[in-house]
Structure 1
Amino acid sequence: MMFFTLSAGIEPFVTLTHMDFPQELEDRYGSWLSPESQGDFAYYADICFKSFGDRVKYWVTFNEPNFQVKFGYQAGTFPPSRCSKPFGNCTYGDSEKEPFITAHNIILAHIAAVHIYRTKYQATQGGSIGIVLHCFWYEPISNSVADKLAAERAQSFSINWFLDPIIFGRYPQEMQDILGSILPEFSTTEKQKLKQGLDFIGINHYTSYYVQDCMFSACEPGPGTSKMEGYCAQSSQKNGTPIGEPVRYGDMNKPNSTTESLLHDVERIKYLAGYLDALSTAIRKGADVRGYFVWSLLDNFEWNSGYTIRFGLHHVDYETLRRTPKSSATWYRNLISQHIVKDCKKHYMFCNNVVEY
């Protein structure tokens, strides 16, 4: 598969793991709950670098581990479905401790893989290695200092939970202040390895929320309000008004949608146009953005929804496997073919001098 990808002029970006874990190791020692997972992941990564590094120049250690620990070990809605009340109703688990244990092991597994790549392969293979995190954006629901600080805490308990250790060698101060001894500690050696532990950061962004402080004022129980989440109540609305258009992919979750309606995805075109316009603006203002991926190329088997939802640029008939471009695919093809990007750095798909559209 990789040979054909390269022969077609497509640069592969390889993700080593996306939330799954071998059942054998889950049964043997509890996967990410055990420090033993760090060594096994490093061994697996080493094999991948050795076997495919001559063709792969971009490696991602983990995709959305901050989602993985939240939904796998706090809410229990993702495998291995571990949680405790009031976060969820699982057979096993501890929602107040296990997310932080698993996150700690994942962070150290990431840095172990990075260390192997940099010391054994990077000089000769000439590639890069990073991590991809899920990133909501949080806006304070009011102009109060408390709500503004709550919005910052929400980021600390989300994407910064993983990025701060990997870049600075420590957890966010807000997490340390609130969680205390619940938060695992890094040894001196681990801190030295952690600092600057990536070459690039991937961001998966889907939506944004308003945030209200729950540390100094009472909040109704809900997403983000607990100590384990930073005392930050999250809402998609403010005074009854949504923070953004609620659903852009109108037919995505409708099992009885017609093929014609799925192919004519005008709302998705609006979304992509607005998103890429904002991204281009950020680049012109100095954001160091090197690439953008549309999710996804094809309708596919989604993590915990199977074939019940569709969001590919191309419609797939699951009976015949026929692929049909949606309106968004045609729009996106025309966009990238009609607008030239000048002065690109080698191997980067996006550059700072972007032609305006």
Structure 2
Amino acid sequence: MDADSGNFSAFEYEVAPWAMEVVLEYIKQSYGNPPVYILENGKPMKQDLQLQKKDTPRIEFLDAYIGAVLKAVRNGSDTRGYFVWSFMDLYELLSGYKFSFGLYSVNFSDPHRNRSPKLSAHWYSAFLKGNTTFLGSQGITRSQSNLSSS
């Protein structure tokens, strides 16, 4: 499988945001609705300098999964936190530097490890501030033009 194609992640796991909602509902019903914190949820993508700033598949992934968590919370799940995987590109134990995980790209060939925000970093920042009302191609296009002008 291609890391960025269809409904599969780079590790060939199916991408199914609806399953997040189902699991949170199961936890609520089966375990008395304990507090839940979701850690390291995100979309790995092949390292590609062209995609470093315009990682729209990651935005679509985050939008879908955060939406599923929100549905579960509205249905009574005691989900208290959602943490993106990861803030910056990093060394992954199983795949080294082959995949990009972060909202910020890291230039691993530069001794200073320069970092720059990807489109997903701008989207996530706007989301946290309550400034996103999209997704879909129009919202991504708007974010890309905002990124280009900054």
Q: TM-score range by the shorter chain?
A: 0.5 to 0.7
Q: Which residue of 2 aligns with 1:309?
A: 99
- Shift of the alpha carbon at 1:319? 2.3
Structure 2 residue 128 is matched with structure 1 residue 336? yes
Q: SS state of the match for residue 116, structure 2? A: strand
Question: How many angstroms apart in 1 are the aligned matches of 2:35 and 2:73?
Answer: 16
Q: SS state of the match for residue 105, structure 2? A: strand
Structure 2 residue 54 is matched with structure 1 residue 264? yes
The residue type equivalent to 1:325 in the other structure is P
1:324 to 112, 116, 121: 116
Q: Which residue of 2 aligns with 1:279?
A: 69
CA contact (8 A) 2:90 2:102 kept: yes
- Shift of the alpha carbon at 1:278? 1.5
- Shift of the alpha carbon at 1:298? 0.3
Instruction: Write out aligned runs for 1:181-330 (5 A).
Output: 200-203=35-38, 252-253=45-46, 257=48, 259-320=49-110, 321-330=113-122
Question: How many angstroms apart in 2 are the aligned matches of 1:202 and 1:276?
Answer: 13
**Unmatched tracts of structure 1, length 5 or more:** 1-136, 139-154, 168-198, 207-247, 340-357
Q: Which residue of 2 aligns with 1:117?
A: none
Q: SS state of the match for residue 279, structure 1? A: helix
Question: How many angstroms apart in 2 are the aligned matches of 1:334 and 1:272?
Answer: 13
Say if 1:308 and 1:335 are closer, same or farther in 2 by CA, change over 3 A: same
Instruction: Write out aligned runs for 1:1-357 (5 A).
Output: 137=19, 200-203=35-38, 252-253=45-46, 257=48, 259-320=49-110, 321-338=113-130
- Shift of the alpha carbon at 1:277? 1.4
TM-score (norm 1): 0.26
Q: Which digits, 9 at most, give the CA deviation of each residue in 1:206-231, with x for residues without a partner?
A: 6xxxxxxxxxxxxxxxxxxxxxxxxx
**Unmatched tracts of structure 2, length 5 or more:** 1-18, 132-150
The residue type equivalent to 2:58 in the other structure is R
- Shift of the alpha carbon at 1:204? 5.1
Which structure has the bigger radius of gyration?
Answer: 1
Question: How many angstroms apart in 1 are the aligned matches of 2:38 and 2:126?
Answer: 25
The residue type equivalent to 1:265 in the other structure is D
For CA contacts below 8 A with separation 6 or more, give which structure has more relative contact order.
2
Say if 1:205 and 1:322 are closer, same or farther in 2 by CA, change over 3 A: closer
TM-score (norm 2): 0.57
- Shift of the alpha carbon at 1:309? 1.2
Cα RMSD between the aligned structures?
3.2
Say if 1:288 and 1:201 are closer, same or farther in 2 by CA, change over 3 A: closer
Aligned residues: 103
Q: SS state of the match for residue 290, structure 1? A: strand
Question: How many angstroms apart in 1 are the aligned matches of 2:66 and 2:35?
Answer: 20
